[in-house]
Amino acid sequence: MNYAIIAAGEGSRLRQEGFKSVKPLVEVCGEHLIERLIRIFKSNDAEQISVIINEESQELKTFLDSRNWGIKINLIVKSTPSSLHSFWNIVKNSDFTECCLTTVDTIFNENEFGKFIAEFHSDKSCDALMGITKYIDDEKPLYVKTDNNNNISAYLDSRENDETDSVSAGIYCLRKKALDIVDSTIKKGVSRMRNYQRALLEDNLKVKSFLFGKVIDIDHLGGIEKAEQLLKKNKTNILSVLRKKEFSPNSEDKDQLILSSVSDNLRKYGYNVVCTKEEDLNGDSKLMKDTFACIISMARGEKAVSILEGFENKGTEIINSVLSIKNCFRQVQTEILKKNNIPIPKTIIVNTSEYLTDKFSQFTEGGFWIKRGDFQTVKEEDVTRPQSFVQAKEVLNNYANRNIKTAILCKHIEGDVIKFYGVRNTDFFFYFYPNEDKFHNRINSSKKRISFDENSFKKDMSRAAELCGLEIYGGDAAIDNSGKYYVIDINDFPSFSSCRQEAAESIANLINNKIENK
């Protein structure tokens, strides 16, 4: 792979602020900008690196000539009127048919860069792979419009809508068709990289995008501190664990989307986020040897929870904690909520092998629900509203045959059903009236809603989550005809499907604050 660095700028804003040297020799975390890029490119199989510097940068030329870089450096000394003209000179003075190009002051996550290069190698169909970021730290950002397949369809000088929330990151991988357009673009009098990128689309080249987390350009002295903070976070690993499909009945895609959105938001802060699945979290996994500042987990299975407990014992922050996951098992949760006077419907914990007609008879008015006591809902029959004592006994027999030893008998509340979501220690709390449950059974058929004390409801739901140890939570509640509310259940890390973007931002902010305040 061939690489190219544009280092021909004057760095005038840095000089005005008191920086005495040339921009490529700015030090970030003890490393000059130019040597950082050379090191990163070498670690990504660089064959040669072309570097263009201006004619006044004798200090930089001396620096580059004085080192044995362990790789061929094609040094071009030429003052140019723009970064595009610098790129044009690189292409004219090099013999490559593909390359990766960036400016010298671009700071990015090294792990993400490796994935960027790997994707370019793997997708031979694209003429250009462009780095983009949702982090905007530019006075005049170039907004990027993409489709669902990450193809770039337009470059915009201003944001068009919520779908154009990404900007060019100034990191480019280009093949021959794209390189050939540089010359024709210059001959048309174009002088900006953004107009070259537009020319690629005008010539109907296939231009794809690759999403980086946080990318910073150092134009001012304040950018150095920002860059150092970013690089420190780049070395901070966060693991996200997607729960098994069996623990997400009819919600697998929704769970994937919220976890991906949280991960993307954390990358915007600069963290290196590693994603895995619950079934891949095992003692043989190489992940077990890594160090994580935090693990965001949806896992519920016994094996995965045991592994997470091992991380927790070594001091790793788990969100939600292992204890809180266990506190969401229905029998345990029922006992916690009862003990602390959280409003729940009349509830009895029973043994599934008992003769229970006398227990059933306590719920004759309005009916009742039967729920497995040892865990959360996996199958539809794990939460059942029996229509007779005979059916109720059949449900318990089914549980017993599945080695579920306890069940919850819970009075049915006639009224409205509310689904709620929250992130503790933030301002985020959201609730709505669903039309169906996760198994597509119709609920809330009445259009008239029962009024209730919303402030008290929010406080009680947050307190219930706190008692269970949950920081990221969701659940169901019922409002009876008098306006009294009851907690039906609380779950760890729901899908937040009705408020995903806002929830993901709040969750990422919570995690960032925890890491920064350690």
Residue 96 to residue 74: CA distance in whole angstroms? 12
Mean pLDDT of the chain: 91
Q: State residue 177 phi and psi, 5-degree precision.
A: -60, -40
What average pLDDT does the segment 71-93 reach?
A: 95
Is residue 411 very low, low, confident or very high in pLDDT (cuts 50, 70, 90)?
Answer: very high
CA angle, 428 as apex, 424 and 429 as ends, to 5°? 90
The amino acid sitting at 6 is I
The closest of 377, 471, 477, 372 to 417, measured between CA atoms, is: 477
pLDDT for the residue numbered 138: 79
pLDDT digits (tens, 9 = 90+) for 441-484: 788 888 789 999 999 999 999 999 999 999 999 999 999 999 99
Q: Provide the token pair at 266.
A: 């954390």
What average pLDDT does the segment 296-317 reach?
A: 92
Q: Can you list the positions of beta strands (E) in 259-398? A: 272-277, 294-297, 317-319, 347-351, 368-372, 383-384
The closest of 103, 164, 101 to 136, measured between CA atoms, is: 164
Phi-psi region of 300 (alpha: psi -120 to 50; beta: other; left: phi over 0): alpha
Q: Number of H helices and number of E strands within the chain?
A: 16, 25
Helix (H, G, I), strand (E, B) or coil at 78: coil
Is residue 95 very low, low, confident or very high in pLDDT (cuts 50, 70, 90)?
Answer: confident
Res. 183: pLDDT tops 80: yes
Residue 129 to residue 493: CA distance in whole angstroms? 35
Straight-line distance from the first to the last Cα atom of the chain, in angstroms, rounded to the nearest whole number: 41
Res. 270: pLDDT tops 90: no
Query: What is the widest separation between alpha-carbon atoms in the chain?
Result: 94
Q: Which of 6-10, 340-344, 349-353, 427-431 has the lowest mean pLDDT?
A: 6-10
* Strand pairing report for 48-53 and 72-77: parallel
What average pLDDT does the segment 340-346 reach?
A: 96
Res. 110: pLDDT tops 70: yes
pLDDT for the residue numbered 145: 94
pLDDT for the residue numbered 182: 96
User: How long, in residues, is the chain?
Assistant: 518
Report pTM.
0.75
Res. 288: pLDDT tops 80: no
Q: Which of 125-139, 282-296, 466-480 has the lowest mean pLDDT?
A: 282-296
Burial of 374 (0-12, 13-18, 19+ CB in 10 A): middle
Share of the chain above pLDDT 90, in %: 73
pLDDT digits (tens, 9 = 90+) for 67-78: 999 999 999 999
Angle (deg, nearest 10), helices 83-92 and 193-202: 60
Structural domains of the chain ordered from first start: 2-224 (3.90.550.10), 236-320 (3.40.50.20), 330-501 (3.30.470.20)
How far is the CA of 499 from the CAs of 95, 144, 258, 333, 504, in angstroms? Answer: 51, 24, 10, 25, 9
Is residue 334 very low, low, confident or very high in pLDDT (cuts 50, 70, 90)?
Answer: very high
pLDDT for the residue numbered 319: 96
Share of the chain above pLDDT 70, in %: 97
pLDDT for the residue numbered 439: 67
Greater confidence (396 vs 438) lies with 396
pLDDT digits (tens, 9 = 90+) for 208-242: 999 998 999 998 888 899 899 888 888 889 999 99
